[in-house]
Structure formats: C-alpha cells, structure tokens
Structure 1
Amino acid sequence: MRLIERIRDGKLRLTGDLTKDFPQYAILSHTWGADTEEVTFDDMVNGTGQDKPGYQKIKFCAEQAERDGLQYSWVDTCCIDKRSSTELAEAINSMFRWYQQATRCYVYLSDLPASRVPKHVWEPVFRKSRWFTRGWTLQELLAPLSVEFFAQGRRLGDKHSLVREIHEITGVAIPALQGCNLSRFSIEERFEWAAARQTSKEEDWAYCLLGIFGVFIPPIYGEGKAHAAHRLREEITKVASRHQSRHYQSTVGR
C-alpha cells in the first residue's frame, strides 16, 4: 500500500510501498471520470497530472486530511500501479480493509453544487448522486467508521448525521450503516444492497463485494460478470461451510 504524503509548500508525493506500521491516513471515495481526466500512478511518480480535472479531488483529500491532523491520504486512481496484475489483484482483495483502517473517509460528490445552500435545496440532488449507483462505493460507505460527505469541498454531513437519508437511498439497513458487523446480515440481503449498482468493468460487480462478504478470490478480467459472480458465491459458500464446521467442532468439544 502506497500513501500520498503532503510535504512542505503543499506538495504531494507517493510513499514507498508500505507493508506494516501504517501511519494514520485519510481515504477518498469518489466516482471516476474519463481515464484521461484522472491522475495516474505514473503522474504521481513523474510529478505530472496537476492540469487534469481529477487532480482537484486528490488535492482536496490531502488538504482536508491536513485540516484533520493527518499527513497522509490514499486515492485509488493514483496509489495503485494498475500495470502490475499482481499489485492490482492484491489491491482489489485488500480494498475493504484499507477503507476500514482509514482514520477518515471523504466522499467527494462532484455532481452536487459547491455553493452554500440550505439542506432542502441540496438534498434532492444528493439523493440522485451518481455516487450511490456505483459498485465500489458500497464498501466505501460500509467499511470506514468515519464517512463524511462533501460537495466539491463543502461538508454536507457524515453517515451518522445522514443515516436516514442514506438508508432510504441505498436500502442498506441502518445498523449496517452504524457499524454493525456485516456478518450479522444474510448473504442475500447483502447481495440485494448491490443489486442495482453498476461498475465500468462487468467483473468488478463481483470483485467489489469481496470485503462485504469477507472472502478472497483472484480477479480474472475477461471472465464476465456471471462467471465472476458464480466464483464469488462459491467462495462465500466454502467460507460459510468452514465456519459452521469450526463452530460444530467447538460445540462438540465442550
């Protein structure tokens, strides 16, 4: 895992690949624009990309983190070297944990007005935000303890103060939004939370749910959504069976 470090004069740079003893960090949740608009890993390494529209999200995340007393942040567009299939696979299977371990998660809503307006004005737009329709943002909503919503830099609230609205928009149970262990909810209920969500790559619909079910599978792009979802369900069944077996053995051994 690499982090973005904010150094003197507000400049940003990537850390090396960290394997343990992570510093506290903030993490960004957002929806992607066109590939040409987003800042890449190479941009960060080469010190380029500041003229891309996506740089504003990275800058916002780092600046908000600093306001919250955090020197480090993480953004998926530029902290993963996606040319490495090994690194990408590791990131996909680690993503839920990375969001879970973040000190703060900032949701950057690019389709809401940045101007200060009353809640009754911005709430209808909030409910229709593209962020609520994407596959990857489900785990980004559920995994972190602290999730704050921003309209291009203006804070709207967090997942606790907006819990009723988020429940109505997403159908996710309020206890799940409040941090209840996801294993308390049935497999089918968790699948229902994701049913209408979309991903740019069809296989990602399954891969983005790995952490929500606490399982690991290697990504195979090109296999298609149906096959990826089948592998996901197979792994969920295997893990559930192992848990039941261990529970039975511990009960018999008493």
Structure 2
Amino acid sequence: MWLINTKTLRLEEFQDYSTVEYAILSHTWGDDEVSFKDMQDFARAKRQAGFVKIATTCELALKEGLEYAWVDTCCIDKTSSAELSEAINAMFVWYQASAACFVWLEDLAPLSSTSSATSQGRKLCDMSKLASCKWFSRGWTLQELLAPANVRFYDANWNFRFTKENYVSTLSTITKIEVEVLKMAKRLKDVLVAVKMSWAANRETTRPEDEAYCLLGIFDINMPMLYAIRVFWSNQSPGDRPEKA
C-alpha cells in the first residue's frame, strides 16, 4: 500500500499498513488529477490542479497528528493490473482502517458571512444543497461513507462543516441508508442484499464495470478485475460470445 508522507508529500510503500495510522480522502474526480506516475516527477505534480487536494489532505491529516495520508488518484499504480486489482478489492478495508476520512464536497458552496453566528449554523447546511452534491451520486463514494468510522465533511473551500456522526439523520435521509447502519450499530452482513443494492441504484460510475466493482467491499466479495472483458466480447461474432445465464 502506497501512502503519502504528510510532511514531505512524497509517496512511501508499506507492506503492512496495519502498523500505520493514516487519513484518507473521499472526493469526486476532476480534471488534471495527479497520478502515481506524476508523483515520480514531484516538481511537475505540484503544478497540476489536482495537487491542491493532495496537499490539503496532508495538511488536515497533520493537524490530526497523522503522519500519512492516502488519496486514490496518486496512491495506486494504475499501470499495474495486479496492483489495481489488489487496490480495488482492498478499498473498503483501507477506508475502514483509516484514522480519519476527509470528504471534500467540491460543489458545496461555503457559508456566507451572513450565515447564522452560532457554531451549529456555521457548520451545517441546507439539506437540498447538500443532497445535490455530486459526491452523493457516485458509485465509489458509497463505500467511502459506510466503511470509515471517523468521517469529516468539508465544503468547496475546505471549511469543516460536520461529521457523519453529528449529521447522521440528514445523511440517512439523503442516502436512504438507515441510521443504525451509518452509526455502525448494524453490520452490513445483516442487511438484506436487495436493500444494499437499493443504496447504489441511483449512483453512477464512469465505467460500466465499476458499477459492480464499487460494491465488492459492501458485499464482502473478492474478485479479479476484468475491465477488458466487455470490450473483448463486443468484438466477437454472436456465435463466439458466452450465453447469458
């Protein structure tokens, strides 16, 4: 597992990540993200737009006393099919094992200066604005909400807004996931398959295959990644394709 040193912002590899406390980022991908390859040329990586979220994640982690952080854009060598497969199968566990998960809602506007002066009013936000955030419509972010215990939400300007714990009722209303599950008082294995599938029903992924892969951890399934299989069979004649079950 590759982790970012929050002081140097350089990647370090760990064979046993259970010995390390780390923060983890949950976000939606944008343009000019920093890849694993980009991080090998640090000067170049720092010039990319996506580096800001990496640096900010590390800054937040340092404030939490954490020496390492994990960001999916740059901590997986996606040129290695073996490493990519391992990462996708381990993703739920990695989020679950994190000391803190920072959710960056890049399309959640910061509170204006005229907002309520109370602590509660400054941090919370209108449910309709929150529900419209792209983060709630993506497939991969479902497990990123469910797996970690310590989840902290930030707006577009990286202002802290609330935690999963203190906003659990609203998050339940938006996601249709029962409060007991979000509080981890009810185990995922005790939730009906149909119910878990319903949580993902209106979520989208960039690749069709990811509609299945993003649910592996939620269903406690491990399987090899076969991103090319759909393209392969689409190029075969009908008689060569496998029959549908």
Same structural fold, with TM-score higher than 0.5 when normalized by the shorter chain? yes
Show the 5 A alignment for 1:199-218: 199-218=205-224
Deviation, 1:59, is 1.0
In the alignment, structure 1 segments of 5+ residues that lack a partner are: 228-233, 235-254
SS of match in other structure, 1:79:
coil
- Find the partner of 1:153 among 155, 158, 183: 158
**TM-score of the superposed pair, with normalisation by structure 2:** 0.85
* Alignment correspondent of 1:2: 2
Deviation, 1:115, is 4.6
Give the conservation status (yes or no) of the 8 Å contact 1:183–1:213: yes
Deviation, 1:219, is 1.3
* Alignment correspondent of 1:138: 142
* Alignment correspondent of 1:247: none
* Alignment correspondent of 1:25: 22
* Residues 94-114 of structure 1: CA deviation (Å, up to 9, x unaligned): 000000000000001110123
Give the conservation status (yes or no) of the 8 Å contact 2:6–2:66: no
* Alignment correspondent of 2:183: 178
**TM-score of the superposed pair, with normalisation by structure 1:** 0.82
Give the conservation status (yes or no) of the 8 Å contact 1:101–1:144: yes
Give the conservation status (yes or no) of the 8 Å contact 1:135–1:205: yes
Q: Which amino acid aligns with 1:88?
A: L
Give the conservation status (yes or no) of the 8 Å contact 1:203–1:222: no
Matches of 1:20 and 1:51, distance apart in 2: 29
Give the conservation status (yes or no) of the 8 Å contact 2:151–2:164: yes
* Alignment correspondent of 1:195: 201
Say if 1:20 and 1:59 are closer, same or farther in 2 by CA, change over 3 A: closer
Q: Which amino acid aligns with 1:154?
A: N
Percent identity over the alignment is: 42
**Larger RCO, structures 1/2 (Cα 8 Å, 6+ apart):** 2
Show the 5 A alignment for 1:39-118: 39-47=34-42, 48-116=44-112, 117-118=115-116
Q: Which moved more, 1:16-25 or 1:185-194?
A: 16-25
Aligned residues: 222
SS of match in other structure, 2:195:
helix
Matches of 2:201 and 2:229, distance apart in 1: 19
Matches of 1:72 and 1:18, distance apart in 2: 14
Q: Which amino acid aligns with 2:217?
A: G
Say if 1:175 and 1:135 are closer, same or farther in 2 by CA, change over 3 A: same
Give the conservation status (yes or no) of the 8 Å contact 2:2–2:70: yes
Q: Which amino acid aligns with 2:133?
A: S
Task: Looking at secondary structure, tell me which structure has more helix per residue.
Answer: 1
